[in-house]
Amino acid sequence: MSVRLTEFSHGAGCGCKIAPDVLDRILHTGTPEFSDPRLLVGNNSRDDAAVADIGNGMGIISTTDFFMPVVDNPYDFGRIAGANAISDVYAMGGQPLMAIAILGWPVDRLAPEIAGEVLDGGRAVCAAAGITLAGGHSIDSPEPIFGLAVTGQVATDRIIRNDTARAGDLLSVRVSEKPLAAGLALAIWFFFVLIFDLVLLGVLVASEGKLNPDLLPWLLLLNPTDIYRLLNIVAFEGGAQLTGVLSLGSDLPMGPGGLWVALAVWFVIPLAGAWALFRNRRI
């Protein structure tokens, strides 16, 4: 009898996250935080990862992402969780260096061999990104949990942050209201975040957590909204930074050319619509 991992999860993927208002109460305890001038990106801007200056124009990226099962297949669960964690490094404009695993497992309810399959999925995604799964930490927990803590590097002048309006810069060449252009671009990006998450949640609910295996490779193409941010690098610094996205998409039923088309679609549609609004002065 096969085991359905999703039956051990009270929340699917990002549905496990603590609500933002509750998280604010947890984080803001009133205790003064140690201030380190080397910290370039912290938790104040709600970015995908933290970045610290290590000198010589380079920064070290540190991030973690883990959640409960979103699919029943252990191997695919490991791949999806691993890809989500690694994508945070790319979203900051960086390249991953190594990863360590985070594993929580109900050892009295699920066989250790199933956890091994989850880890194999994580290793496969790390290998596709050209990094090693160098270690990790595990605990006996009531629900299965898996993810990665990923370390990466980035040139300090190429960091992409939530408050860096590069998409707005592109719009601003067409309009005089530069702050409004930047604000609109960021609003469009957040809109696509919402749409992608709602679509993914709808697919998970409709399939009762049991996704068609043919859909799984597409989930490994990373969040399209991360790609939307990454494409700003292409516009300003060239496409070399996108090699990580292409390697993680190696399982997709398309070649590199198809991936570039996918990136262009996520880039052109929202910005073309925004440009049309500015051109017609309808906002």
- pLDDT the model gives residue 236: 36
Last residue of a domain, one of 160, 190, 208: 160
- pLDDT the model gives residue 121: 94
140 shares its domain with 4: yes
92 shares its domain with 155: yes
Q: What is the span of the domain harbouring residue 127?
A: 1-160
155 shares its domain with 208: no
- pLDDT the model gives residue 70: 82
173 shares its domain with 243: yes
Beta strands 145-155 and 58-67, pairing class? antiparallel
- pLDDT the model gives residue 28: 77
Return the active site residues. 14
15 shares its domain with 151: yes
55 shares its domain with 173: no
Rounded CA separation 64/102 (Å) = 9
Q: Which helix (H) or strand (E) holds 61?
A: strand 58-67
**Domains of the chain: total:** 2
DSSP string, 74-88: HHHHHHHHHHHHHHH
Residue 55 belongs to domain with CATH number: 3.30.1330.10
- pLDDT the model gives residue 201: 59
Structure tokens at 12: 């699917």
- pLDDT the model gives residue 56: 93
Last residue of a domain, one of 160, 187, 219: 160
19 shares its domain with 135: yes
Structure letter (DSSP) for residue 3: -
Q: Residue 209: what residue type?
A: G
Rounded CA separation 224/201 (Å) = 15
Below-50 pLDDT ranges, the chain: 1, 13, 165-176, 178, 220, 222-256, 281-283
136 shares its domain with 170: no
Last residue of a domain, one of 126, 160, 194: 160
Of 85, 72, 88, 68, nearest to 122 (Cα)? 85
Rounded CA separation 217/79 (Å) = 9
Rounded CA separation 259/270 (Å) = 18
Q: Which helix (H) or strand (E) holds 237?
A: helix 224-237
Of 159, 14, 145, nearest to 91 (Cα)? 159
| Phi, psi (deg, nearest 5) at residue 104 | -115, 130
4 shares its domain with 134: yes
54 shares its domain with 184: no
107 shares its domain with 200: no
182 shares its domain with 107: no
Of 132, 137, 109, nearest to 122 (Cα)? 132
